[in-house]
Amino acid sequence: MMKLVSLKKVFKFLIYPIHKFIISKKKTPTYYLNKYLKNTKFTILQIGSNDGSSNDPLFELIVKNYSWKVIFVEPVPYLFDKLIENYTIESRFIFENLAINDGKKTSFYYVDKIAKNELRNLPFWYDQLGSFNREHIVNQLNGILEPYIVEISVPCMNLNQLLEKHKIVNLDLFHIDTEGYDYKILSQLNFTKFKPKFILFEHKHLNDLEKSASIYFLKDFYYIFNFEGDSLCVLKNIISTFDYIKLDLINKYLKVISSIRNYTLRS
């Protein structure tokens, strides 16, 4: 018992503060994207844009880099309106109010915005739970969101149809945040046509099979690094050896810290 208490104290008062100091904001995907993408002309595709700014790793980078062309995809109507409001209409922006799947029109689910007024202390991400899978939302926050789930029929495209529609011939950054549908979209990427310099996708809602499939799909062309719930994939021929070593060490370090933290929480 004494050893367990001591371990918790060591984590709380020594390891975690050091961890917070070492893994600062500059040790995030945003830092490395900014390092390699700033002040250059790039084409960005973001699937699952939400309102554009809430907890979005690209928002500040997109706003300040005027030479970036960006395609935003968001199926939820009220979030799509906020997305346009947050970015404003510019010629370099394309906004698509649809969902990416196999191209078939289907039901899509999201949380009604009135939930924020009727439920206390909702986390800021409650409106980021839009999904093709209703149960994905039901399973969040002990089911309190279920009465507020809205079902809509949304226009859909597959990834290739979207890229062809906008005549995209070069894709530099591909960002996916689709609440568990990420691998299904990622796997549509045709590497004979496109090899984005960076791919950023959310892995935390993927099952083990999809996580493994994602790695297998990407490993020949990309270095893959995990930052909390996201995976940052960097095309192997654009990253320096020094930055690769740094990212790899940070990645290993995060796994160790996560294991220690989980152990102390379970005990």
Statement to judge: residues 62 and 112 lie in one domain: no
Going by C-beta distance under 8 Å and a sequence separation of 6 or more, which residues neighbour residue 115?
Answer: 122, 126, 145, 148
pTM: 0.82
Q: How far apart are CA 179 and CA 55, in angstroms?
A: 14
207-216 residue pLDDT tens: 999 999 999 9
Q: Which helix (H) or strand (E) holds 260?
A: helix 241-266
Q: How far apart are CA 213 and CA 8, in angstroms?
A: 36
Statement to judge: residues 119 and 63 lie in one domain: no
Residues counted in the chain: 267
Is residue 106 domain-resident?
yes
**Model confidence at 146: pLDDT above 90:** yes
Beta strand residue intervals within the chain, DSSP E:
43-47, 69-73, 93-96, 99-100, 106-111, 149-154, 156-157, 173-176, 198-202, 222-227, 230-235
Task: Provide the mean pLDDT of the chain.
Answer: 85
Looking at 19-33, 100-114, 174-188, which range is the least confident one?
Answer: 19-33
Is residue 138 domain-resident?
yes
Is residue 258 domain-resident?
no
Task: Give how many domains the chain has, as a whole number.
Answer: 2
Is residue 140 domain-resident?
yes
The whole-number pLDDT of residue 257 equals 60
The whole-number pLDDT of residue 188 equals 98
**Model confidence at 148: pLDDT above 90:** yes
Is residue 179 within 8 A of residue 109, CB to CB? The reply is: no
Is residue 142 domain-resident?
yes
Is residue 251 domain-resident?
no
The arithmetic mean of pLDDT across residues 128-134, rounded, is 90
Domain with 59, as residue range(s), is 23-42+49-68
Is residue 158 domain-resident?
yes
More confident residue, 59 or 3: 59
- Per cent of the chain over pLDDT 90 is 59
Q: How confident is residue 124, by pLDDT bands cut at 50, 70 and 90? A: confident
Is residue 137 domain-resident?
yes
Indicate the residue among 151, 166, 181 that finishes a domain: 166
The arithmetic mean of pLDDT across residues 9-15, rounded, is 50
The whole-number pLDDT of residue 247 equals 72
